[in-house]
Chain A
């Protein structure tokens, strides 16, 4: 009890913390919840093999990018020197659609029989909202069970930009990183 009293009286002199606080709370809770539900729904469409519906959640001008990761020493990074990255995904709407079409052929052998996936979305932060566009940061964990005993795990971070469309949203930019330096999988044949 006395603790609370002391807290109340404590002067708020921690300026660094105050500055960080401004980074933490950026948008109304209601919006946070709306975006969260949208991203959970998007993940469920992939996991339920509703790929055509999934495509609807992406804008016609979407840029969908997943980059590789490389290792360099801290002293090199400080000098801005590090081995170049490259693309794992760099898709526009049409290419995403072709990836879906590929899965539909029944001859995309890496996905025959189709694997089961769970796209987990976590640590969602809504970074900004200007009345039209929402910027988000989140982490993903994709669990993939394939063939008889193959289990693959893909973890990383992504930054999405969503645009208000009618009563819902469309993603028009997805930038992802994958936290593997040597990808521990024979291929990536699912959508992230």
Chain B
């Protein structure tokens, strides 16, 4: 163990406290880029976004600019979007299709496989002495795909993607695997900036069911189907729930494991939440039997709830938003939000879903607006010297962790809990203070034992 910045003293997952310096300290942030973002499996793109050879999508791993490229043999590779000559960004488009990536600075040109294929004036300027085979684009060490989602990892010794996901796979499958054929990204990518630390967003989607009734009070109030809201009292769309999911829920569950987290309520029917377009929720009902067959009843019914796969991939069931919180310094993120639908959805449902997604969780979404505002204001308050030293309370449901016997995997608690937050920050501290993946895994084991006693 090598706790360079003493981060273990800032996170006390047993007591349920964190010191807010973890959201502001530039040194901690620099270490995060190295120890979290250069060692974790990070979401790069969905396969459906780059179907043909030469299709590419530009994204980020932490702050590193990345090119994700469909190869001629159908596989996917990813490269640092940085020219090996003087470091210029090689590709400036958000996406497209190409045969080569040519650097705008001096014209070095790379193939789809990252190889440096041509250099201007190679004979005259380099006297034919440049060993081009040594100067290809820097390849992301590992690229792996899980049910359509493409991930990258810089660390050759990290566990395989599916081991890294652990029990989170069960929850993710409920999102990706409702129908044969899997999912695809619908429409374009929403991108926007929020002046807050990446952990606020990631942790909220990991663990914070608790904020929903209050933070989103305005949306809940005006989207409810009442005669005050709509003269005939009919809901925004046919087939939606009359109340927010928690109002009629038959209990709920929160999950924590490997730093990942998820929570949802048990519902009587496969009801999407009030902010899902009517056509979309009708679709979910119609295909419920297929989902039951594939996933079982609990996950088939689950059409609400939040999730984070550590560190920065989050999604919401039902509203179908999947997003990455790209870090941009200790006090800034870029949100990239994708709308995920089943491939088998009829086109008119896909269209309705894209619109419903934007209206709920796009940057102008009825729900999205409130979340970002909280994080921005917390970050501002943390400019204060005393504020940065003042403990945050993360004790909800402490000591009530359990392991269920009904097939819902992992360490769990009631849905309103901070078990997943405690797990998230403990995993963060473990990764930040471990020199390699062997140590991370040893620390994680010890932490889980200490955290839970179950």
Closest to A90 in B: B355
Closest Cβ of chain A to B359, distance in Å, is 7
Interface residue? A72 (CB, 8 A)? yes
Name the residue among A85, A105, A106, A186 with the largest chain B CB count within 10 angstroms.
A186
Please, how many residues of chain A have a CB less than 8 angstroms from a CB on the other chain?
A: 40
Interface residue? B187 (CB, 8 A)? yes
A108 touches B369 (CB 8 A): yes
- By a CB distance below 8 angstroms, the chain B residues around A40 are none
A87 touches B222 (CB 8 A): no
Q: Mark A136-160, 1 if CB is under 8 A from B, else 0.
A: 0000000000010000000000000
B94 touches A83 (CB 8 A): yes
Interface residue? B95 (CB, 8 A)? yes
Classify chain B's interface size: 35 or more
B218 touches A107 (CB 8 A): yes
Q: Which of A150-192 contact B (CB under 8 A)?
A: 181-189
Q: Given A90-B358, A105-B221, A108-B218, A82 and B368 touching (CB < 8 A)?
A: no
Q: Which of A86-109 contact B (CB under 8 A)?
A: 86-91, 94-95, 98-99, 101-102, 105-109
Interface residue? B125 (CB, 8 A)? no
A86 touches B370 (CB 8 A): no
Closest Cβ of chain B to A89, distance in Å, is 6
- Stretch in B31-39, B190-198, B246-254, B416-424 touching the partner: B190-198
A105 touches B364 (CB 8 A): no
Q: Which of B330-382 contact A (CB under 8 A)?
A: 334, 339, 354-355, 358-359, 362-364, 366, 368-370, 372-377
Q: Given A98-B222, A102-B222, A109-B215, A187 and B96 touching (CB < 8 A)?
A: no
Interface residue? B407 (CB, 8 A)? no
Q: Given A73-B96, A187-B363, A87 and B373 touching (CB < 8 A)?
A: no
State A187–B230 Cα separation when bound (angstroms): 26
Q: Given A182-B193, A187-B373, A83 and B95 touching (CB < 8 A)?
A: yes
Interface residue? A84 (CB, 8 A)? yes
- By a CB distance below 8 angstroms, the chain A residues around B359 are 87, 90-91, 95
Interface residue? B454 (CB, 8 A)? no
- By a CB distance below 8 angstroms, the chain B residues around A85 are 187-188
Interface residue? A76 (CB, 8 A)? yes
State A68–B370 Cα separation when bound (angstroms): 20
B188 touches A86 (CB 8 A): yes
Closest Cβ of chain A to B272, distance in Å, is 17
- By a CB distance below 8 angstroms, the chain A residues around B229 are 98, 101
Closest Cβ of chain A to B83, distance in Å, is 16
State A72–B363 Cα separation when bound (angstroms): 22
- By a CB distance below 8 angstroms, the chain A residues around B355 are 87, 90
Query: Which applies to chain B's interface (DSSP): helix, strand, loop or mixed?
Result: mixed
Interface residue? A127 (CB, 8 A)? no
State A47–B95 Cα separation when bound (angstroms): 38
- By a CB distance below 8 angstroms, the chain B residues around A147 are 377
A186 touches B187 (CB 8 A): no
State A88–B190 Cα separation when bound (angstroms): 8
Closest Cβ of chain B to A55, distance in Å, is 14
State A184–B354 Cα separation when bound (angstroms): 22
State A90–B352 Cα separation when bound (angstroms): 10
Closest to B337 in A: A86
- By a CB distance below 8 angstroms, the chain A residues around B215 are 109
A71 touches B364 (CB 8 A): no
B190 touches A181 (CB 8 A): no
Closest Cβ of chain B to A79, distance in Å, is 8
Closest Cβ of chain A to B367, distance in Å, is 10
A86 touches B94 (CB 8 A): no
- By a CB distance below 8 angstroms, the chain A residues around B98 are 76
- By a CB distance below 8 angstroms, the chain A residues around B196 are 186
State A66–B366 Cα separation when bound (angstroms): 15
Interface residue? B97 (CB, 8 A)? yes
State A155–B352 Cα separation when bound (angstroms): 27
A87 touches B362 (CB 8 A): yes
Interface residue? B223 (CB, 8 A)? yes
State A110–B358 Cα separation when bound (angstroms): 17
- By a CB distance below 8 angstroms, the chain A residues around B221 are 102, 105, 107
Query: Which single member of B193, B354, B364 contacts A188 (CB below 8 Å)?
Result: B364
Interface residue? B92 (CB, 8 A)? yes
Q: Given A94-B230, A101-B222, 18 other A-B contacts at CB below 8 A?
A: A66-B364, A72-B95, A76-B98, A81-B97, A86-B354, A86-B362, A87-B187, A88-B364, A90-B359, A91-B359, A98-B229, A107-B218, A183-B190, A185-B193, A186-B372, A186-B373, A187-B192, A187-B369
User: Which B residues contact A (CB, under 8 angstroms)?
Assistant: 57, 92-98, 187-196, 215, 217-219, 221-223, 229-230, 334, 339, 354-355, 358-359, 362-364, 366, 368-370, 372-377
20 interchain pairs (CB within 8 A)? A71-B93, A72-B94, A73-B96, A81-B96, A81-B97, A83-B95, A86-B187, A86-B339, A86-B362, A87-B359, A88-B362, A101-B222, A102-B219, A102-B222, A106-B218, A109-B369, A110-B372, A110-B373, A182-B334, A187-B368
